[in-house]
Structure 1
Amino acid sequence: MERLRAIRHGESFLAWCRYESIVTVYDQLVIDTSGGFFIDRYSEMVTRLCREAAITRYQADQWVGEALALRDRLPKVLTTLRDGILSRQLIQTVISRTDLISDAATIADLDTEIESILRHRTGAWTRVKLRDMVDRLVFRHDPDAVRERRREALDKRGMWIENFTDGTGEITGVMAAENIRIAAKAVKALADTVCAHDGRNRNQRNSDAMFALLTGTVFDCQCRREQCAAEIPDPAKVVRSVSTEAVIHVVTDAATLAGAPGIGWVDGHGIVSDEHVRDLAERPDATITPVTPVRTAPTRVVAVRPTTKTSDGPDSPVEPRSADAPPADMVIVFPGAQSADPYRPTAACSDFVRVRDGYCTEPGCRCSAFDADLDHVTEYDRTNPTQGGSTSSENLNAKCRFGHLHKTFGDWVDVQYRDDDGRLVTEYRTPEGFVIPGDAENLEDSFPNLRRIRYEQPPQAPPTPRVIAGDDTPPTPNRLAQKHARRRAERARNKPQRLADQADPPPF
């Protein structure tokens, strides 16, 4: 595992070396852009690169464009590639999400802030988390550019087709992000009505269902069985059903919704502008729900060290408080478990955890938290609940179905805790003891007020389980109980070392 990590860092360093070499060749060949020689000299440079690497001219041109953007616009971000913090694929994400910034001073400030977050934030960066982080900063530095970009993008919406030489073709539609989600759900809803014996794979069924929806034709199961039990609805009924049942989760601050500058986050899309958020809120079918239960009083309000910043800095601006709102250094605590079943979180707690996480917490997974399971990080012990993990927002996180099953039946151990800065940190430990950091961010970084909310298990103890034995011999612990005990012991053994590392972190 250490070697794999070193290889990943080495690949990033080699990509940095290539960018450095490209700009060196560029400076030697494309030195004078006057007199109409720019295209010829640039072509000479690209030709050298594509022939040396045996790649297409388009690929070589992409390498050159990235190298120049990093040198001239994002020199500090480029150093994170050299030091193995980002890969080339993630660097491409930063380049593409900052290309709308034209002001030199703004891009310089943005370069500094992105580099600072990448260096000082522990955890792994996935493409979607990095995209959301960069979009959040871009909007804060130049919100007018983001709004104008959205208007231009909506003006360019349309439909295009392309015919392939093998008798197939492609249809592309560009529309608002929320309409894409509704259309995709309608296609999948119709495609999933076939029986289990249909011979098409998911993509093939989606293609046929999309054609049926667009043309109003019949969509049939292709199992060719007389006893087929599939009930295929009329495509028009599917569209009407989905349009009224599709749920698009949007997260934002109350102040942004009321008209203040800010950002929003759309499930399955990422960061959007405040203007886009308000457009969604004004839809006649929109439902606005606070993340805290309106009919449930908090169990208590506790003071903590402030974890958000009220001045301009790496965190989003703090939401303005009303006169009766608790101070910014207070945490509001609500009940997190159902009174009848301490294992199950309340609906408000479940929604909050999904809002906070945004995505599956497995490193590299892009699954939405709203499509994922909720997992007790420290396992809830049904046999002896007083020894197991609590049903609280601090001990729950979102995991995709595969990640949840792997946690349940595998031998990995994961932990979740808050660091000295108040950020929620997840870590995964392999059966061999190798520690893999979780994601570097969640939606608390975009909406810092989420850090002020907690859901905790009620103080009353759950009922003691009843154990019936035929003799005085104590019952033998089953495999699950043994696994829980082993994980508790390993977490207890690793906690002192983690606290020591937090107090005296190793040099970078």
Structure 2
Amino acid sequence: MAAVAGWEMSRWWRARSPWPDLPAFYTGGVHADDVTDLIGTHVNELVGSMASTQRARSYLAWHNYQLAAELHRRLVGDRDVHDVLLVDGFADCAARVSVALAITQHAAEQVIVQAVALRDRLPQVSERLREGRISPERVIAVIARTDLIDGADCAAEVDAQIAAELDVHDGPWSAERLRDMVDRIVYRHDPDAVRERRRRALDARDAWVEAKADGVAKVAAVMSAENARISRDSIVALAVTTCGDDPRTIAQRRSDAAFALMSHTRFECLCGRDGCPAEIAEPVVAASASKIVIHVVADENTIAGEADNAGFVAGHGVISGEHVRDLAARPDAVVTPIVPPGTPQNPDGTWTLPAHQPADPYRPSAALDTYIRVRDGHSVVPGNATSAFVADVDHVVEYHHADPSAGGQTVPENLNVKDRFFHILKTFGSWVDDQYRDRRGRLRQEFITPEGLVIPGDPDNLEVLFPGLRRIRFAPPPPRAAGAADLAPDGQEPPTRPRSRLAAKYARRQQERERNRRRREQKEREQEIRDQGETAG
């Protein structure tokens, strides 16, 4: 089985490109004549071609933005886009785009606004769009989240830092990782902009009903992030109180529970059985009795008002220091430090905490479990937005229960957070993942498909937002006692095969990781040589 490293393709489409003026790099694909007997290679090329198509979409989006920006330069120029006339130069410019693309006037105006933002505020990010390092959808998010620094002295520096972050990643960015990365950069350069954005958002809070087809409607509301999480968790807590024979799906039960909570009517189990075991409280009682936990991460100085660093709300993202203090001041807030009070400090300014539970080296200690969830913030699986505080902490290299010292130990570098689905997929399937520190010191993940395609994970986590995490150490697990062995209950060792099926599976996975590590180290050595050559030049 042939492996394809990263998003590199082993063959390119021989047929004529549908975009003759587009570089071949963007139109890689698989021609029918290229199908081989190696099904692994074939699957890898199909997946890799989808990545190439994504890069093509980025290039074409960049091209459209260039055209829109040029239209704006010719038809609007330096004239005020906020002209009092209903049909000003900006509206007239957008009308051309609207009619040509058969989109609304508002949508056309948004295209031009985004094009001008990339040209004037985010030129380096625009170049990364051209190179395919960011998708069209993600670049719109960057534009929106940097809106309040438009014209500020820090705008160029923010643009440069976002572009530098995009450069450290070869694959696509997950929406939540990109959002957090942009927000922390903006916050560090202009915290007032973040506070202003929060004030505007809170001022715009509202609730409304949107009619849908087939006799249903959608109830929606905009509120603070913590209130939204409390509302959702209250609905879920009531929805799961029915018995197992309730015929509704969990989604349907959530809908009915939301109505019960809002209308103060009783939520019932619909199993129809006499003696139903479900214990369902009145909605008001259920809402007040539910234990809703909203995890907020912040540094101690910000909580105390001695600093104004950004914080993080699990399931939401980066928040301002002011928002952190508002949450910490709530009467129901419980502040729990990762490093317990009274823990002695090491001479180098770090703290050492236990890595595992005293009686079980497989189970992480409460401190390590919290540390991993805080560090990762979300599931590390690309594209998955599951909060780290409701996901699973997983050993990257499988833990060796018979001989913990052989590898797969319960230490920070070998643990990360995965959503339940992917955790199961890895445990019972043929997927392999790896985790390592790159040459910049960043914690990185790689995901290897059953066919051997290496997909890079997101390069961003909360270590950058909370550098104090790097001052926390965890004690390594104790070595296995000499002569220890796994014995049968009667003290006799039963006959065994040379290697168990599970051990063989783990060995194959480790070989896969080692092979990819050698490939990665070779690429890093080549990059260092190129960097040295550029420096010398």
Q: Which residue of 2 aligns with 1:311?
A: none
Look up the SS of the partner of 1:197 in the other structure.
coil
Cα offset, 1:473, TM superposition: 4.9
Give me the whole-angstrom Cα distance separating, in 1, the residues matched to 2:480 and 2:259: 56
Q: CA deviation at 1:73?
A: 1.7
1:45 matched to 2:66: no
Q: Partner of 1:448 in structure 2?
A: 467
| CA deviations over 1:233-280 (Å, ceiling 9, x no partner) | 2111211112xx211111111221221121100111111111111111
Offset, 1:446: 0.7
- Does 1:113 pair with 2:161? yes
User: Which moves more between the two structures, 156-165 or 331-340?
Assistant: 156-165
Equivalents in 2 of 1:38, 1:80: separation in Å? 35
2:333 counterpart (272, 286, 292): 286
Task: Name the CA distance, whole Å, in 1 between partners of 2:512 and 2:196.
Answer: 52
- 1:223 and 1:44 map into 2 onto residues whose CA distance is 60
After TM superposition, the structure 1 stretch with the greater mean CA deviation from structure 2, 333-342 or 490-499, is 490-499
**Is the contact made by 2:443 and 2:459 (CA closer than 8 Å) also made in structure 1?**
no
- The AA in structure 2 aligned to 1:203 is A
Q: Indicate which of 354, 363, 368 corresponds to 1:349.
A: 368
Is 2:442–2:459's contact at 8 Å kept on the other side of the alignment? Answer: no
What is the match of residue 64 of structure 2? 18
Aligned to 1:274: 321
With over 3 angstroms needed to count, the CA separation of the structure-2 counterparts of 1:336 and 1:472, relative to structure 1, is closer
Question: For 1:20 and 1:140, how far apart are their aligned partners in 2?
Answer: 30
Compute the RMSD of aligned alpha carbons.
2.7
Residue-by-residue CA offset, 1:432-476 (whole Å, 9 max, x unaligned): 322111111000011112122232432232653225798985435
1:480 aligns with 2:505: no
Q: Which amino acid aligns with 2:468?
A: N
Q: How does 1:86-485 map to 2 (within 5 A)?
A: 86-121=134-169, 124-163=172-211, 167-226=215-274, 228-242=276-290, 245-259=291-305, 260-294=307-341, 326-327=348-349, 332-461=351-480, 464-467=485-488, 473-485=495-507
| Residues 23/37 of structure 1: CA separation in 2 closer, same or farther (3 Å cut) | farther
Mark the runs of 5 or more structure 1 residues left unpaired by the alignment.
302-324
Contact in 2 for aligned 1:394/1:455 (Cα 8 Å) = no
The one-character-per-residue Cα deviations of 1:130-189 (angstroms, maximum 9, x if unpaired) are 111111111111112222332343334343344557544443333221111111111111
Deviation at 1:18, TM superposition (A): 1.1
TM-score, scaled relative to structure 1: 0.86
What SS class does the counterpart of residue 155 from structure 2 fall into?
A: helix
Deviations 1:12-61 (A, max 9, x none): 11111111122223333335848977825444433332333333333333
Is contact 1:213–1:235 with CA below 8 Å preserved after alignment? Answer: yes
2:535 is matched with which residue? Answer: none
Residue range with higher mean Cα deviation, 355-364 or 3-12: 3-12
User: Retained in 1: the 8 A contact 2:302–2:321?
Assistant: yes
Distance 2:502 2:344 in 1: 37
Kindly indicate whether the alpha-carbon contact (under 8 Å) linking 2:343 and 2:351 is maintained by their aligned counterparts in 1: no
User: Quick one: which amino acid aligns to residue 7 of structure 1?
Assistant: T
What is the alpha-carbon distance in structure 2 between the residues aligned to residue 109 and residue 437 of structure 1?
27
Structure 1 SS opposite 2:405: coil
Q: Is the contact made by 2:487 and 2:493 (CA closer than 8 Å) also made in structure 1?
A: no
CA distance in 1, matches of 2:138, 2:185: 16
The 8 Å contact of residues 447 and 457 in structure 2, kept in 1 or not, is answered as yes
Q: Which runs of 5+ in 2 are unaligned?
A: 1-46, 532-537
- 1:471–1:246: structure 2 CA closer, same or farther, 3 Å change rule? closer
Please say if residues 393 and 456 of structure 1, whose CA atoms lie closer than 8 Å, have aligned partners that are also in contact. Answer: no
Structure-1 separation of matches of 2:510 and 2:84? 71
CA distance in 2, matches of 1:400, 1:360: 6
Amino acid at match of 1:443: L
Over 3 Å counting, the alpha-carbon distance change for 1:297 and 1:500 in structure 2 is farther
**2:485 alignment partner AA:** T
Which deviates the most, 461-470 or 154-163?
Answer: 461-470
Q: How many Å apart are 1:297 and its aligned residue?
A: 5.3
Distance 1:66 1:490, change over 3 A: same
Which piece of structure 1 moves more, 188-197 or 441-450?
A: 188-197
Deviation of 1:124 after TM superposition, in Å, equals 4.5
SS at match of 1:179: helix
Bigger shift: residues 82-91 or 228-237 = 228-237
SS at match of 2:378: coil
Q: Distance in 2 between matches of 1:225 and 1:56?
A: 54
Tell me how far 1:398 sits from its aligned partner: 0.5
Q: Kindly indicate whether the alpha-carbon contact (under 8 Å) linking 1:219 and 1:235 is maintained by their aligned counterparts in 2.
A: yes
Q: Distance in 1 between matches of 2:173 and 2:150?
A: 26
Equivalent pair of 1:124/1:440 in contact (CA under 8 Å): no
The TM-score with structure 2 as length reference comes to: 0.82
The verdict on how the C-alpha distance between 1:217 and 1:21 changes in structure 2, with shifts beyond 3 A counting, is: same
Per-residue CA distance 1:97-146 (angstroms, 9 max, x = gap): 11122434222221122112222356642111111111111111111222
> Is 2:409–2:477's contact at 8 Å kept on the other side of the alignment?
no
Determine the structure 1 residue equivalent to 2:52: 6
Judged with a 3 Å threshold, the aligned counterparts in structure 2 of structure 1 residues 92 and 155 are, in CA distance, closer, same or farther, namely: same
Q: Could you give the per-residue CA deviations for residues 176-214 of structure 1, whole angstroms, max 9, x where no partner exists?
A: 211111111111111122233333333332222112112
Deviation at 1:347, TM superposition (A): 1.1
Q: Which residue of 2 aligns with 1:304?
A: none
Return structure 1 stretches of 4+ with deviation > 6 angstroms. 34-38, 468-472
Deviates most, 163-172 or 77-86: 163-172
CA contact (8 A) 1:213 1:236 kept: yes
Q: Give the partner amino acid of 2:310.
A: I
1:105 counterpart SS class: coil
AA aligned to 1:464 is A
CA distance in 2, matches of 1:5, 1:154: 38
CA-CA distance at 1:484 after TM superposition? 0.8
Larger displacement relative to structure 2 (471-480 or 121-130): 471-480
CA contact (8 A) 1:159 1:171 kept: yes
CA drift at 1:431: 2.6
Shift of 1:505: 2.4
Give the partner amino acid of 1:109. Answer: E
Measured in 1, the distance between the counterparts of 2:89 and 2:150 equals 25
Q: Is the 2:488–2:494 Cα contact (8 Å) retained in structure 1?
A: no
- Matched with 1:309 is none
